[in-house]
Chains A and B, each alone.
Chain A
Amino acid sequence: MLKRMIYQRVVLAGLMVVHTCLPSSAEPLKIGMVATLTGAAAEPGRDETQCAKLAAEEVNKAGGVLGRPIELVIEDSQSTNPGSVLAFSKLTGDKDIPAFIGPIFSTQIQALAPDIQRIGKPVMIGGTDPQLTHMGNPWLFRFRPNDTYSARVIADYGVKTLGKKKWAIVYSTEAFGTNGMKNLVEALKGMGVEPALVQGYANNSQDFTAVVLAVKQSGADVMSTYMPFPPDLAIFARQLRQLGVNIAWVGSPSTVGTTALRLAGPALYGSYAVCDFAADSSPAAKEFATKYEANYKSAPDLYGAWAYDAVHVLALVIDNAKSLEPQKIREAILSVKGYPGVEGTYNFDQNGDGLRGYNIVKNDNGKIVFIKHIDFSE
């Protein structure tokens, strides 16, 4: 009897020791993530997951969420819409996941939207199609400024700061490029400017001579581009310089993506771009860029920065809400005001849009120099 009591106490004491030594042995809190790990967008997908992991590590180091460490559960969307739907349905099968990091590509988010509405749990997104947060789906929360703002910033900077009135717009004829072009034409119209040239092209063009000659002949003194694929952008930039076109260039965020910079090299020197992430735009962005480079040996760009913010904001709001109830998390996200993220300062509105401004940056001999941040109140 005595023996048995001693035995029980020893076991209990052992358990106590184990328990106190592993304070984080609390059940991890799972966060789902749909990312493009393979397929055409495998490269941005890797950046995105690396940024999310970095944020999760930091959250866990600081004590986790509700006393629990967070664990990212990542599913591959294969860079396609059906792949995204499949990946998301795998994640929603796990009832323990209270919230998700969704795709950066607008078309994939459109494909997921009906499922998201049905599941009724919050999804952080990076797609910039303005429609996404304006179609009555209360579960989408955007961590990048949408494209109406990029167009307004391009127009504002080109017309007011650079003082240019003859515009050429070059855009890809798919969804992103066409939307960007329409928003920019609209924004320019608001400033009384009619573009001299609006020129579309199809993705994966191997030769841009015709486009360059059209820009040259239009007599434009400033050009803006909505070109999503880095190789297209790089071939275009090089042919532009070869044929002697050296007008001012204010491009969309992909103009300062790391791949485009590497492929195009000197052909992009001197160009301006709007960009939601710029390492020098704030102390938070700078600190994040340093940490990212130390961890992954490459510079972070717009494809990943938003996911870093999304994980941090999600951790913060779940702590604030002290609940994993979807409705409570939603309310907590919408009440985030003045959060200093690496993409900018987050002020969520009732549509779920967190950011309303862009940085203007300049490519100064390959180095991206931050010029200014333009924010809109609505």
Chain B
Amino acid sequence: MKLAIFLLSAATVASAQTIEGNVVDAVTGAPVAGAMVSLYSFSPSPAVFRTDASGHFSLPGFDDGSIPPIVLSISKAGYLQARYQLSSKSAQSGLQLQLMPTAVIAGKLSDDDGFPVDRAHIAALCYRFADGVRELATKATAESNDLGEYRIFNLPPGRYLIRVSPGNLANWDRRYQTEYLPGSLEPSAESWIEVKAGEERAGIDMRLTRHEGVSVEGRVVLPPGRIVSLSLQEKLEGAAPIYFGRTANPFFHIPHVPPGNYRLRAQSGSFSLRAGDLIAEQEITVAGADIRDLVLNLGEVKPMDLSGVVAEESGGVPPTMLINLRTTLGTSQTVRSDSKGTFTFRDLLPGQYHLQLAFDVTASGPGDHAAMPSYPISALLGEKEVLMSGFGLDGPAGPLKITLSNRLEPRVTGNLRDAAGQAVPGAVVVIESANLLARRMTVTDTAGDFQLYPRFAGDYHVYVAASLDQADSLSDPDYINAHRNDFPPLRLVEGQNPPLTLRLPAR
């Protein structure tokens, strides 16, 4: 905080070294005027500057010319926010920093009557790498207005799957369902739209149609006087329930269910699960025929314990660890491992859990983590590796075996240059092996330098994206397959590896 104030006041003094440069459009090379340049150093609140009409900016530097860890964040509406880590190796003047223009997908939605669709939810999905897997995730969303118009903006260049949920229209007629471009219940090759940097794709119109679907009906074996919430939800990320109701009537009838894989769930009590609630869940596949006579038998939600142990790969005494389990609903429990490495979670409810691990910095004793730089390499629940992916809990399970290793992590430093030999700042470098637990991502600084610390020694492929916002394309399986040989394969050994020099191919 004090540093930022110091920097601002230093502007009036003839300062030793000024941080100065130009911001240009990454596609046209034209100067970007009025971009906001924020300087982050040790301060949580950045000092803010603007580029002038010629895209030029000038920030006060440091008296002694040293460069503390400084990040320049550059933003302007219509561009992806860029972050550049200043390198002490590169000149602090004459910086040429690029802003990547964002893409827009816009259009109009109408329904079977030709009426505009108001307040529909439109989502642009792309692949993302999370929890050790590649998955389709929402990148940006928009809501249509009363004229049916929508506009999805701030999109990094790349390809997107366009999904439309009818929102308000489904309240009018339940036969309207979530559809994919160009108007189908299932995504197809036509559902994807590829946009270039700065491209505005208008006229992506879509007509939502009614789908009769089939009926799903049955009963819940419901004790007298109890009320359950019944929901039918497609097994897809971000899918809204196709049906939701609270009822004391054991019989249910859900009309107009389109084909797909669903989870049918009956639950007493409130939205978040509690011990003693009654719950029943059934997975159903809907095809062309009505589904009748489903019977949901409610079972009581019983809290359960989950025990585990932390062990050093070397057989040594494990340090005290903090082990956290977090549900998708946000509730979380943290326990501490004891001197033998054992730990127990009490009263966990059925659900999906994510695992997080940290060294207990407040603990002292034999397992002092500072003296022994071990790190988690595996968490096995039964046979299943859950370190990154987390796990579902629906009955007694365990033990959870967490393995720490004090093997030296492979380390590699590198430098990224373009075809003309210029350093490429702000680019994303990803290394990936067959073992996705070891996948690593980093961003180059203003000298084009980067460092990577993957978890395991072995063979890797190298991928590069122009900016952090474009890193999602590196999660797209098709992209990965097409770019596997952009750079030579990399073999990493434990400890320090020889420096890596990457050169981008000519455009």
Verify that A and B bind, or say they do not: no
